[in-house]
Chains A and B, each alone.
Chain A
Amino acid sequence: MATNILICDDSSFARKQMARAIPPEWDVEVHFAADGIEGLEAIRAGKGEVVFLDLTMPNLDGYGVLETIRRDDLPAMVIVVSGDIQPDAQERVKALGAMAFIKKPIDADKARAILSEYGIMAGG
């Protein structure tokens, strides 16, 4: 069965870059969200088993999404994809329950390495 993955980023360019970086052999259905509020809606609708989450977004940022996922115990494995590469940012999102952190700009090699390292991509 295809895995529902959600790409949550306010930049349409970044969403496309992320979508292109998803390994082609991974059986997925890709969904998109343009801010944290849309992202949470999609996760609650079951569209975000795996979430690629940006941090800096209007309305509700990535930190807010992580807090809500944890508070409401939503079923989502979150990989933060961000240009905020400060050591503090990485520690904070891990503390909030993010599984992994990918530094922007994203490419296919980075995405593949993280997905197999954490066993997120079945058979990867």
Chain B
Amino acid sequence: MNTQTQPVVDLNEDQRDCYQELTNVAMGQAADRLARLLDAYVVLPIPKVNLIEANDLRMAIQEVEDESAMSAVCQGFIGSGIAGEALLLFNDTSFHDLSTLMNYPGELDRFAEMELLMDVSSLLIGACIQGIGEQLEIHFNQGHPVILGQHCKVEDLLKPGNHQWTKTLAIEIHYTLEHVNIDCDLLLLFTEDSVIKLNDKINYLLD
């Protein structure tokens, strides 16, 4: 046990509701951009907001099945002392329809999939992060996106020990498209220290 006095990382119902609503607006902006890119309708879910132990990340992801083959990208972001990582988990069965909608020429090999994955992730992650940032008056700088893996099981993509923090605020957004087989899961993970600062900003909005 840590005996040092530290601010308690906590999340009450009003704060959770507020994060959910801010995410709702941001993911709508991201969906709008994706819908225009693919000329399709994006079905918007209710985002899930949870404070979790980093080791329990897999348990927190509700919308991804154990056996699905997935590819994933992660991208860090930082601004106003708030830092986190965005993780896009993309179901491999989605690539076929995605390449069709994006009029991707040529064969759909591993490299083509990587390119499509990068395009979609930069759009969705960028719009979501900036959307949340705008509402909280934070300018987030984004790091380079990194491919975490292709054609993996989700548990292998989320190996414990990759993160420097214990508790994290996890926001999960499950995007699906209407009439086509495309589905992906966007996770926004904020570091423990960031949650305290974010909560301050949220409390100000709730006042």
Q: What string of 1s and 0s marks CB contacts (under 8 Å) between A46-69 and chain B? A: 000000000111100000000000
- Asked whether A56 and B44 contact (CB < 8 A) given A11-B24, A82-B28, A84-B31, the answer is yes
Q: Which residues of chain B from 2 to 57 have any CB-CB distance to chain A below 8 Å in the complex? A: 14, 17-18, 20-21, 24-29, 31-32, 35-36, 41-42, 44-46
Using CB atoms and an 8 Å cutoff, list the residues of chain B in contact with chain A. Answer: 14, 17-18, 20-21, 24-29, 31-32, 35-36, 41-42, 44-46, 135, 205-206
> Are A12 and B14 in contact (CB-based, < 8 A)?
yes
Q: Which of A11, A58, A85 contacts B32 (CB 8 A)?
A: A85
17 contacts between A and B (CB under 8 A): A11-B18, A12-B17, A14-B24, A56-B44, A56-B45, A57-B46, A58-B46, A82-B28, A83-B27, A83-B44, A84-B28, A84-B32, A86-B42, A88-B35, A104-B24, A104-B25, A104-B28
* Total interface residues in chain A, CB < 8 Å: 19
Q: Which of B28, B42, B46 contacts A10 (CB 8 A)?
A: B46
> Are B46 and A56 in contact (CB-based, < 8 A)?
yes
Describe A's contact surface by its main secondary structure: loop
Across-interface contacts of B25 in A (CB, < 8 A): 83, 104-105
Cβ of B60 to closest chain A Cβ, rounded Å: 19
> Are B24 and A83 in contact (CB-based, < 8 A)?
yes
Q: Which residues of chain A from 10 to 52 have any CB-CB distance to chain B below 8 Å in the complex? A: 10-14
Closest-by-CB residue of B relative to A88 is: B41
> Are B46 and A86 in contact (CB-based, < 8 A)?
no
